[in-house]
Structure 1
C-alpha cells in the first residue's frame, strides 16, 4: 500500500510473498498472537531493493569507460532474485526471519586497476609512508579523491585507519603525515577512493606496518609538561575526527 501511495519507496522492488505472514507469533511457538490484543498476522519482515545510479555527469570529451564507471550501479546492471522465503522453524522471537538470494550482472568489467599505487613492502620509518600513483589514460580524477590506509579485512571504504587527500589531478605521489599513522602494527593495504565513481578504484598488495613505527607514533602523542617560571603548560590536542568531507578539519592548540 505504501509503495502505491507514497514516494518514500519509489523505485524499490520486491519479490512475490509466497510465504505465510511472519508476525505476530507467541514466543516459543508457531501460533499467531493469542494475547488479549489478538493482532492480525502480517508480513512485517520484508526485503526490498533498488538500483542507485552513482557518480556525476561526465563531460562528452571523456571516454566511454568513464561514462560506464560513473553509472556502474545503473544502466544495464541487472538484479536477479533466486529465492525469497521465511524461516518458520525459529521460535525465539515473535517474528519469523526472512532471507533472499540475489545475483548481480554488471554491464562491463575493468581488468586493470584505474589507479595503481606503488608502496614500500614494509613501513618501518615515517618516510616509508608514501605511495606513487599511476592513473590510466582517460580516467578523470577529482579534487575530492583520497588514498586510505586500511587494515587487511576491512569491509567499507570508510573503514580506514588513516587517509590523505589526493587533490591535484597531476599529483603522482602522496605522503601520510606522521600524526595520522596507525598505532596498531599489522598488515595494511592502500586504496584509492574516487569521488566520481563513489568507489575504490585501485588497491595495493598487503604490506607490513611494523611495531617500531607505531611505537614512535604513540610516543609522539604523549602529553608533555613544560616547566617554566610561570608554570605554564602547552597541551597539543589531536583532532578527534579526520573523516574525509567537504568541511575543513581544525587542529586546536591550547595554552594554559
Structure 2
C-alpha cells in the first residue's frame, strides 16, 4: 500500500531521515517506536507530503507521489495541486487534534469530503453522522471543539480522517496529549479499526498497543530504522538499546499516571 525508496530528509545541515526503505502492506498495522528526535513523526509526515523529502520516492497503492520544490524547499503550487489525490488516500490523525475551533463537530468531519472530493453537503453529513456514531459521539454533532474533552476531540479527528475514505491512516502519537484516563477512548477506536482491516501506521509510545495490536513494529533511531519485525521479535530481542528504551518509556508512563 505504501512503498518508500531511499527517503532522505534534511533540515538545513541536520539529517533527520537517512536512506529509509519501507513497505506497508494493505491491511497491515505498523507501529513506529523509538526515542524523541529519532525521525518518527518526520517519516510519517513525509508519507503524505506534509513534509517534503529532500530526496527519495514514495508510492501509494503503486501510484508515485510526484513532487517538486521551490527555492524555500516547499512544494510548488503545481505539485501541491497535483497531490490532491494523495490527501484523499492517506489521512492523518495528529497529536494535537488540529480541529477547526470555529466549526462544529459535524462541520469538522464534513469539510474534507465537501471541499476536496466535492461530495454534496447532505451526503457528506449523512456519512459524518454514521462515523460519529462509530466513534461514540453522535450526540456531540453540534458542539464546538472547545466544549469537548481531549479524548472526544481526538475521536472527532479520527472520524474526520475516516470521512475521506482513505486507503491508509497515519497516526502521529494520537494519545500523547491526553490525560491518562482518556487514552483508552482513542485506543479502543484504533483497535476497532485494526480489526476491520484498516491499513494503519502509528507513531506511538503506547507499548501495549504496539505489542498487542500491531502486525509489525519498527524501532527508529538517528533517522534510521534499526529494528523491524513482528512485535514478539522486536520486544523480546536481547538488545541493550531496546531494554534501555523500554525502561525509559515505562518510567515516563509511571510519571504520567502520578501527575
TM-score between both structures, scaled by the size of structure 1: 0.22
Report the structure, 1 or 2, having the larger helix content: 2
Higher-Rg member (1/2)? 1
Higher relative contact order (CA 8 A, sep 6+): 2
